Amino acid sequence: MKELNILITGGAGFIGSNAAEYFLKKGNNVKIIDNLSRRGSSDNLSILRKEYPKIKFVKADIRKDTKILEKEAKSSDCIIHLAAQTAVTDSIKDPRCDFESNALGTFNVLEAARKSGKNPKVLFSSTNKVYGQIKDIPTKEISKKYFYKGISSIGEDRILDFHSPYGCSKGCADQYVRDYNRIYGLPTTVFRQSCIYGPRQFGIEDQGWVAWFAIASMLGKKITIYGDGKQVRDVLFVNDLVRAYELALSSRKTSGEIYNIGGGEKNTLSLFELIEILEKIISKKISCDFGPWRAGDQKVYISRITKAERDFAWKPSVAPEEGVGIMCKWISKNLPAIKKSLEAKK
């Protein structure tokens, strides 16, 4: 890629800060917009500013600061839109906040891009939750983990069936992003992302389960498994995701397209399997409680990632055991800051 002016909304968050670092290392100009409301975002911003003094930061809220968005879009070649409310549980508690963050916030970003006169590329971070519970596909149990019966993974042609306020708000945004390409010619791309994990993830119980299990284990906190622990997700290390952002932004084929992005069939984990990996890393038994299944939860979700491989030659390179190990090293190094963050949000 040539040197670009890249705007990242939610750029102080887990994925955003990793993306900012990646594109800065590549010699691009990076500006991040964030309201710093997320756990750990201020810590991530401080680290970025220390390591990359040329990074630009604008404190703003995509739900209401439309003039700021419009100003920053005018100087951007591409926008990576990551700012969002990210938990199904929080969407159920406060659906209005969820809607305003995900649907209205995305609309505001798209309008800023449309009005900019720059026709910037817009890459939107959507979610596998737009497919709902996928109850019509039967599952089977193999070695204490669930798999689909009859198919191996979920493709982009799967019918949308949101099943939660979070699914609705992200699905609404997902469709807006697609139709701003079809109606206004804006070069947009949707990534329906599966479970992303890695360094800089200040995970909590209902947001970022891979990181939360690791953090809780290292802090000696009891882990609650909602369901039976056999549920499966395809997991994707954050560096692989950010590399997919770069490749998609570099390709003409991705304009107006939607991609399922995750670890795929070769990178799946059940909750029990993650526990086993963590026990090896920390060299002790991990205590777990069990709770009821959560509303809208999927027994299995595995992304079919062949479209991304075909269109922009991407596939994951980091296996779960390796990625979890890298994440745990970061957590261990930053445990005091993580502990402080957890206590501050009580």
Round to whole Å and give the CA distance between 157 and 166. Answer: 20
Which of these, 171, 296, 299, 279, lies nearest to 233 by C-alpha position? Answer: 299
At residue 346, the pLDDT reads 47
Round to whole Å and give the CA distance between 216 and 168. Answer: 30
Alpha-carbon Rg for the chain, nearest whole angstrom, is 19
Which of these, 208, 193, 194, 210, lies nearest to 328 by C-alpha position? Answer: 210
At residue 278, the pLDDT reads 94
Round to whole Å and give the CA distance between 89 and 198. Answer: 22
Beta strand 195-197 with 268-270 is unpaired
* Residue 154 DSSP label: B
Catalytic position from the list 166, 176, 226, 245: 166
How many C-beta atoms lie closer than 10 Å to residue 142's C-beta?
10
pLDDT in tens, 50-85: 999 999 999 999 999 999 999 999 999 999 999 998
At residue 345, the pLDDT reads 56
Which of these, 170, 134, 145, 167, lies nearest to 265 by C-alpha position? Answer: 145
Q: Has this prediction a pTM greater than 0.95?
A: no
Domain 5-344 matching CATH 3.30.465.10: the answer reads: no
Domain boundaries, the chain: 5-344
At residue 143, the pLDDT reads 80
Return the SS3 of 322.
helix
As a three-state string, the secondary structure of 267-282 is CEEEHHHHHHHHHHHH
What is the rounded (10 degree) CA torsion for 163, 167, 169, 173?
Answer: -130
Beta strand 223-226 with 288-291 is parallel
**CA angle centred on 112, ends 22 and 190, rounded to 5°:** 55
> How far, in whole angstroms, is CA 316 from its chain's centroid?
15
**Which residues of the chain register pLDDT less than 50?**
346
At residue 294, the pLDDT reads 80
At residue 338, the pLDDT reads 84
Q: Within 13 Å and on the Cβ side, how many CA atoms surround 280? A: 9
How many C-beta atoms lie closer than 10 Å to residue 154's C-beta?
23
At residue 206, the pLDDT reads 56
Enumerate residues 6+ apart whose C-beta is below 8 A from 155. 260, 304, 306, 307
Known catalytic residue: 166? yes
